[in-house]
Chain A
Amino acid sequence: MNAMTVPIANYVALSSVIFFIGVAGVLVRRNPLIMLMSIELMFNAANLLFVAFARAWLHNAGHVFAFLVITVAASEAAIALAIVVAVFRTAAHVDVDDVALMKG
């Protein structure tokens, strides 16, 4: 009962596929909101691995780390959405490629 019923490799495979779905979302989509949601997907894929390995090793550090990732994801979402609102509040057209103010 102590050992995991599902092998850890399954979790690694599932987590990588979710992560790469998120990568594809960031690369292909041009809606800044959907790009941000893809980033959340990637955060969650990483979190799933932390929790799965915490369970496999019966070690709390994975849980604490996943908790910190959730906090950072919340801050990131708040700041990124504030930027989206600040940039696109005045424009009728929302396109991430038009935001090149910081380009050298």
Chain B
Amino acid sequence: MILFWALAIVLLASAAWCITAKRPVYSVVALLLNFAALAAMYLTLNAEFLAVMQVIVYSGAILMLFLFVIALLSSGVAPFSVGPNRVPHIVYPTIVLVLVTLGSLTWALARTTITTPVSSPSGSTFGPPGTADVFGSVADFGKALFTTNLLAFEITALILLVAVIGVILLAGDQPASEPTKRRAEEVRREMREAILREGDR
């Protein structure tokens, strides 16, 4: 219970930091903290395979991608700027809606009790993470993924293929922009002059 509250505080604080940070790099750091805390929370929920996936896919792959794009966009002629933040007029009705949803959901769920079954549909029983064949272990997860949910797994492969083709189409070979060409010309001229100076000496 203490662990839950500690992780919840980390999760909320890092989420708030992520959306309020001035520079995108700080947002990435906040998001990293958020994902790490979430992985720990998955472990407390006996989802050890998903905790590992969370660290590998989110912290390892997606955040790296974000960092690369930030570096790419900031490395141009001038650092990029964004417009001021906006508070659209739908924000205030949304806040009311949020409070109503949150209140009713929590109230309804606090009244219900879920009786946890002894064993899962795939036959695994509850046990501490790290032991073989318990609920949420790699074996248990793999059994569920490759038997009952095989079609969903295949469709995921298709989604990844489409994403790869889309990214290649979007970010593939494109002619260089005017500022990039100008900068390249400047660099070339500077190098030529430097070489000529060296030759004079």
Contacts and interface: CB of A to CB of B under 8 A. Distances in A.
A64 B141 contact: yes
B73 A94 contact: yes
Interface string A18-34: 10111111011111011
Given A56-B114, A81-B66, A92 B105 contact: no
Chain B facing A: main interface SS: helix
A8 B109 contact: yes
A94 B38 contact: no
Contacts of B171: 82, 85-86
B187 interface: no
B139 to A, nearest CB: 11
A16 B82 contact: no
Given A9-B109, A24-B19, A86-B174, A30 B86 contact: yes
B104 to A, nearest CB: 11
B12 A17 contact: yes
Interface string A54-68: 111111110110111
B106 A13 contact: yes
Nearest to B28: A37
Given A28-B85, A60-B120, A22 B66 contact: no
Interface string B136-153: 100011011100110010
Interface in A49-104: 51-52, 54-61, 63-64, 66-68, 70-79, 81-86, 88-95, 97
Contacts of B115: 3
Q: Which of the four size classes fits the interface of chain B?
A: 35 or more
Contact of B85 (A29, A33, A55, A58): A29
A68 B83 CA distance: 35
A84 B144 contact: no
Contacts of B16: 21
A44 B35 contact: yes
Nearest to A25: B19
B86 A14 contact: no
Contact of A60 (B19, B109, B110, B141): B141
Nearest to B46: A55
B130 interface: no
A16 B102 contact: yes
A37 B31 contact: yes
Given A16-B102, A56-B114, A74 B62 contact: yes
Contacts of B49: 63
A23 B116 contact: no
Given A61-B149, A86-B174, A95 B82 contact: yes
- Please name the 9 residue pairs, one residue from A and one from B, whose CB atoms are nearest each other, closest first: A25-B19, A75-B163, A60-B144, A90-B177, A82-B170, A9-B109, A82-B171, A9-B110, A95-B83
6 contacts: A8-B114, A10-B8, A12-B109, A54-B45, A67-B50, A90-B179
